[in-house]
Structure 1
Amino acid sequence: SKLLPGGTLSAPEPFAAELNTRFHKGPLCFSNDSRQMFFTANESRRKGEAKLAIYTSQNESGLWGKMKMVNLGSADANNAHPALSADGQLLVFASDREGGYGGMDLYATRFRDGRWGVPVNLGPEINTPGNEVFPFLHANGTLYFSSDGRGGSGNLDVFAALISGEYNWTAATNIGAPLNSPKDDFGFILDASGTAGYFSSARDGGMGKDDIYRFSLAYPGELAEAVPVQASVRVVEEATGKPLPGAEVTLLRASDDGVFCGVVDGHMLSFSPTETPGEFEAKVSRADPFRVPVPEGLRSVTGPEGTLQLPVVTGGKYLLLAQKEGFRPLSRPLEAEVPADWNIALTRTNCLTLQGRVHSRPGATAIPNATVTLVNMCTGEIVQVTSDASGNYEFPCLESDCDFLVQGTKANFKMENVLVSTMDRKIGQPGPPVLQDLELIATLPAQLPSDEKGGQEVLSFDEKGFDEKAPLAEGTASNSIGGIMGNGVLIELKNIYYDFDEFRLKDKASTRELARLADFLTRRPEIHVEIRSHTDSRGNAAYNRDLSAKRAGGVAAYLASNGISRDRMVALGIGEDDPVNQCTDGVECSEEEHQLNRRTEIKIFNKK
């Protein structure tokens, strides 16, 4: 029958007479180009009961070719009611084969390598101990079917579910009245626009037992509202990616005028878009029960894994609001799709940004792609980033009142460790970020980017290793605090200066550096320290060793005078035995190069 102008139908006439036989032909479906057809027919058997099977035929020059049975396995079962996806790759059908959940179950198979695969049962989200029959696959991924095993208005009601994986579907939802009635409703189909369709029903008022009905929808998404989807929301901390339990999430749906609104806890929330993208004007008022009804907003709290689920409508537009104490609140417009997986990252309000540049020493040439590791000495948390093409790195969130170890590594460079503290920084007030550059000294001849003069800087240094007993491979960083702190961390005190052949501190800057170290050790009683003093190669080796021992002892004495127990300190005079460059005996070097070797280092150990 054809739809005529005015909405009437022409008289029915046989379809595909070339395929008609004395056997029953049942529900059918077509490929998107209408050149292939799948249909149900009684299988021809000489003996025994004729089973239902699914056949296919190709349209050639306006005529349908010879019907061929689709091999779906389970020869002793009934296979019926085919439904084909828009891309022609997925076939859903009804079958009473063994291993199902009830009488007739829905199964799916995919077309791969020129053949249909082994059918897969659609599972308890779709199937019941009753019968699931008459499937229809819409181009938007919605599966419609009839079931008598889920309750509802009548024996067979029409249900809908959304595809969420290769063979996975959301839980079936009854599409409700008026499409469903107290009698059987089945054979549902919907046009490509999602606004009109047909179905069969035994409802009262028809012309016979089962009649065909046509319906129209007010708008394309009207039926989708009857098929809620569970949106999975995951809230994490932006800086670390760790889940945030106890975060409050509110979800408001957009009205026709684009305003996100809903009633939550007796209050009407309204968020109107502003001229600035991503910003909204918020209004909160007490809900008025006598005004036009407003949908309920959704509010929930994340669990131990930072997750929760909220029911949404496919294609619906929403505004998600997330907040947690100690974090900046966030609002994000979202559109519900299948699957609806929403990841939300919140930024701490008690955060300081750490910025710096990784560069060579000497020369200050940028070192890109260096691994920079941040160790939170309060919590043990470890975060790693990589320096960019200019050698810059950033950690967006350092908590206040804490000490941190910053570690820079790259292949063929000596590891650099630096202590950073936020003890004296106030949170919540505008201010500059914490700044800390990392200076890496090459351990092997290394090709570095050209300097401003167009030359190329080649540095060489013989590194003995991060830990002399168990050297850490250059360019690597441990991912555990035990691996980083277990055997001690070597840190150079950059602002400790001595004049040549002197063991007394050169200036007040040196004293300030030791004062910061004393404060750190006071805050961290679990930390023990090994003080290592080095000289340059000028002078007698024995004399230099004695000089360096005096310098190390002087540092220990200063720390002891500031309340640090001698039991937590060891002072070592290394002398000229461990230079950071080529300036050994007999090698001519500049004063700047000798200065690199005159240094004081500490090796800190966690004795917890």
Structure 2
Amino acid sequence: MKHFCSILLISLLGSGILNAQQRLVERADRQYTDYSFKPAQDIYQKVVDRGYVTAELLQRLGNTYYFNADYEKAAESYGRLLEEFEAEATPDYYFRYAQALRSTGKLDRADSIMQRFTEITRASSDARAELFEANRDYRAEIEANSGRYDMTPFVFNSRYSDFAPSLTGEGLLFSSDRDTGNLARYRHTWNSQDFLDLYEVSPDSARGHRVTKVEGVNSRFHESTSALSPDGNTLYFTRNNVREGKFARDQEGFVRLKIYRAEKIDGVWSTIEELPFNSDSYSVAHPALSADGKVLYFASDMPGSRVGNGDSPAQSDLWRVIIKEDGTFSQPENLGPKINTEARETFPFVSSEGILYFSSDGHPGLGGLDIFATKLDYLPWKGSVQNVGKPVNSAWDDFTYVISDETREGYFASNRPEGMGGDDIYGFIETRPLQFECIQSITGTVRDKITNEVLAGATVRIIDEQNNEVSSAITDTNGNYEITLDCNQANFVRASREGYIPAEEYLSPSDGKPRVVDFYLEPESVTAGYGDDLAKLLQLSTIYFDFDKAVIRPDAEIEIQKVIAAMEKYPSLKIKANSHTDSRGPAAYNLNLSQRRADATVRYMISKGIAPERLQGEGFGESRLINRCVDGVRCSDEEHQLNRRSEFIIFE
């Protein structure tokens, strides 16, 4: 009996401990779903340390570290998840584990996990896997793009978070939580950091520069990531979804981000309004403007975004809208699969040269968020995305990159450990610009200039401005070809074929939009002199007439059309239509019949648009027979028909 009571007591104690752990996890889950990652993280870690471990607990614990850039701790949680609960780990956790490993310098292990990720997502066409497969040498690309920056100090960092630099001409806007107050109610529970405000670094004649808060837009909640219009009178910025001084939550209790617009009136920011494509149910954040101020780029997880499985609130795509003349906006447009993946694409910036810079952990990089770039003009065609390289990118989160194309000076933010605070702004000078590959597709057909017939077996070459052959292609049986060229530079496209005079077209540097370039090659024999029969030069079928008729037959029309095409191509070409008969019938009658045939041929060509002064017609009757079928000689109808013909003689 005592033994039974002891067992019962132990069981009750164990049940009580288990229930206590479950209650802690439930409390942490509520905080996690409210994006209160830091408080949730503390509880999850405590529970795991006590030995209470489930797949979901490790997933969420790993996420709280991952989305706060503690990649070493994230790798520990994800690694344990895959080791102990492999069957319950979705592909996203393989991907995040690989990213966390990269950030801790374990690149080979990270690539092996990414290989496993590509295998289990092969059927779903995951962009992250496709990019990894297509860029196996991504490390070499990063190295090739590295060493292009001289780092310069940014003296306005604090021991808090400073990030999101934005160029203003003479100064700089940025976000910081440096003096927003340390009261708990003003702290954001995502990372236990104070709420953010916008600050401005502006010239000061006495002190060189001074840092001040941006008046008129800051509140006691988050304001960050800003973009200033070219005239300096419109400011776009990110803020929490706030209504009447309080957080506005969606149906699940989440506080989303929105972009707001402020206008400067009499030197004061006012008339603040939220943009119409904001929503309580998804985030719209991190505005960036094109150089002319007519296009607004931003990050969002709005419907149509290529984001992951929903347990990762930081995931977003890049979008854009056109700003119309009246200040309204077009419908948002997703930037597409060359940019966006199932992971994080965020913090866009567009330089005056039309280069889009953004941060991503979906494209192959060094770990965490890396900064990437693409030429927007090339993007719709065969444009590529490039990692900007080290030292701007690191194993940590690198983001909010901006650059002046005139001075090549710029800034970005990073949470790398050598900084003063949680995030720090770093300055740089770009010493060597990125080279963006521009591959343009050229297609077309090669034809005979005179007959318009397609030419199979013609050679089409790409020749650079130094007269070097870059590539070549052969036309198929339909006379078609396809070839690519480097549209960063000027090129010649040259077509040639034996028996024809080569032709070429000059193509200046372009945005890479596919082009159609057709060629019409002139036969070498077209250079023949006066008196030659064009029909023979064009290798036309003989134009015959029916017995005792002067009507153009349908088969003759086809051949005469080829002569007409030649005359249209050569406006100076003049033709004399010589007509002939067979020997049957009186010679005088045949002479008259042949003249009627010549006249019929000329009238037909005039009806098709050839000027009368370019044409002559003469009948020769039976005086120029081409076979033995003279009077008194028995011949077949076929033999007689050979003499009922027309010729097209070039005359001066």
Quote the Cα distance in structure 1 between the aligned partners of 2:258 and 2:503. 55
1:433-469 deviations in Å (ceiling 9; x for gaps): 9752579xxxxxxxxxxxxxxxxxxxxxxx9x999xx
Structure 2, gaps ≥5 residues long: 1-199, 308-314, 545-551, 563-571, 579-596, 610-614, 648-652
Quote the Cα distance in structure 2 between the aligned partners of 1:128 and 1:164. 20
Aligned pair partner of 2:230 in 32, 35, 46: 32
1:195 lines up with 2:408 in the alignment: yes
**Equivalent in the alignment of 2:437:** 228
Quote the Cα distance in structure 1 between the aligned partners of 2:418 and 2:537. 72
Aligned pair partner of 1:436 in 575, 583, 592: 575
**Equivalent in the alignment of 1:579:** none
Aligned pair partner of 1:109 in 307, 321, 325: 321
1:10 lines up with 2:209 in the alignment: yes
1:85 lines up with 2:290 in the alignment: yes
1:301 lines up with 2:473 in the alignment: yes
Quote the Cα distance in structure 2 between the aligned partners of 1:558 and 1:218. 89
State the SS of the aligned residue for 2:619. coil
Q: How far does residue 166 in structure 1 lie from its aligned partner after superposition?
A: 11
Matched length: 379
Letter in 2 for 1:81: H
Quote the Cα distance in structure 2 between the aligned partners of 1:564 and 1:116. 84
Letter in 2 for 1:35: N
Q: How far does residue 54 in structure 1 lie from its aligned partner after superposition?
A: 0.7
Q: 1:570 to 1:325 in 2, by over 3 A?
A: closer
Quote the Cα distance in structure 2 between the aligned partners of 1:135 and 1:87. 16
1:14-66 deviations in Å (ceiling 9; x for gaps): 12x11111121111111111111111111114453321001111111211112
Quote the Cα distance in structure 2 between the aligned partners of 1:4 and 1:560. 112
Q: How far does residue 99 in structure 1 lie from its aligned partner after superposition?
A: 2.9
Quote the Cα distance in structure 1 between the aligned partners of 2:233 and 2:316. 29
Quote the Cα distance in structure 2 between the aligned partners of 1:62 and 1:188. 28
Letter in 1 for 2:415: A
Asked whether the 8 Å contact 1:32–1:86 carries over to 2, the reply is: yes
Q: 1:23 to 1:322 in 2, by over 3 A?
A: same
Question: Larger deviation: 157-166 or 210-219?
Answer: 157-166
Aligned pair partner of 1:141 in 333, 341, 354: 354
Q: 1:435 to 1:475 in 2, by over 3 A?
A: closer
Asked whether the 8 Å contact 2:285–2:300 carries over to 1, the reply is: yes
Q: 1:246 to 1:34 in 2, by over 3 A?
A: farther
Letter in 2 for 1:436: I
State the SS of the aligned residue for 1:133. strand
Quote the Cα distance in structure 1 between the aligned partners of 2:418 and 2:429. 19
Letter in 2 for 1:108: R
Quote the Cα distance in structure 1 between the aligned partners of 2:366 and 2:635. 81
**Equivalent in the alignment of 1:157:** 370
Letter in 2 for 1:40: T
Aligned pair partner of 2:240 in 37, 42, 57: 42
**Equivalent in the alignment of 1:64:** 269
Kindly indicate whether structure 1 or structure 2 has the higher relative contact order, using CA contacts under 8 Å at least 6 residues apart.
2
Letter in 1 for 2:334: N
Aligned pair partner of 1:337 in 505, 510, 513: 510
Quote the Cα distance in structure 2 between the aligned partners of 1:64 and 1:602. 89
1:233-276 deviations in Å (ceiling 9; x for gaps): 23543735968777353454xxxxxxx5xxxxxxxxxx3xxxxx
State the SS of the aligned residue for 1:197. strand
Aligned pair partner of 1:496 in 609, 619, 636: 619
**Equivalent in the alignment of 1:247:** 459
Q: 1:356 to 1:134 in 2, by over 3 A?
A: farther
Quote the Cα distance in structure 1 between the aligned partners of 2:616 and 2:505. 46
Structure 1, gaps ≥5 residues long: 253-259, 261-270, 272-279, 283-296, 358-375, 378-397, 407-413, 423-432, 440-462, 478-491, 498-504, 519-555, 572-599
Q: 1:435 to 1:73 in 2, by over 3 A?
A: same
**Equivalent in the alignment of 1:391:** none
Asked whether the 8 Å contact 2:382–2:512 carries over to 1, the reply is: no
Quote the Cα distance in structure 1 between the aligned partners of 2:631 and 2:560. 19
| Mapping for residues 28-427 of structure 1, pairs under 5 Å | 28-44=226-242, 45-47=247-249, 48-72=253-277, 74-102=279-307, 103-112=315-324, 114=326, 115-164=328-377, 170-193=383-406, 195-203=408-416, 205-218=418-431, 222-223=433-434, 225=435, 227-237=436-446, 239=449, 240=452, 247-250=459-462, 252=464, 271=466, 298-301=470-473, 304=476, 305-313=480-488, 317-320=489-492, 322=494, 324-326=496-498, 334-341=507-514, 344=517, 348=521, 350-353=523-526, 401-403=539-541
**Equivalent in the alignment of 1:532:** none
Q: 1:565 to 1:175 in 2, by over 3 A?
A: farther
Q: 1:212 to 1:560 in 2, by over 3 A?
A: farther
Asked whether the 8 Å contact 2:321–2:333 carries over to 1, the reply is: yes
Q: 1:242 to 1:199 in 2, by over 3 A?
A: farther
Q: 1:204 to 1:466 in 2, by over 3 A?
A: farther
**Equivalent in the alignment of 1:574:** none
Asked whether the 8 Å contact 2:457–2:474 carries over to 1, the reply is: yes
| Mapping for residues 440-451 of structure 1, pairs under 5 Å | none
Q: 1:57 to 1:3 in 2, by over 3 A?
A: closer
1:175-222 deviations in Å (ceiling 9; x for gaps): 333332222221111214262222112345433332212222336xx2
Q: 1:234 to 1:5 in 2, by over 3 A?
A: farther
Quote the Cα distance in structure 2 between the aligned partners of 1:32 and 1:245. 54
Percent of aligned pairs with the same amino acid = 24
Q: 1:354 to 1:183 in 2, by over 3 A?
A: same
Asked whether the 8 Å contact 1:355–1:434 carries over to 2, the reply is: no
Q: 1:49 to 1:493 in 2, by over 3 A?
A: closer
Q: 1:421 to 1:434 in 2, by over 3 A?
A: farther
Q: 1:3 to 1:62 in 2, by over 3 A?
A: closer
Letter in 2 for 1:18: G
State the SS of the aligned residue for 2:623. helix
Quote the Cα distance in structure 2 between the aligned partners of 1:41 and 1:567. 92
1:272-330 deviations in Å (ceiling 9; x for gaps): xxxxxxxx6x7xxxxxxxxxxxxxx84353675412224554xxx34446454425566
Quote the Cα distance in structure 2 between the aligned partners of 1:61 and 1:243. 70
Q: 1:43 to 1:566 in 2, by over 3 A?
A: same
State the SS of the aligned residue for 2:357. strand
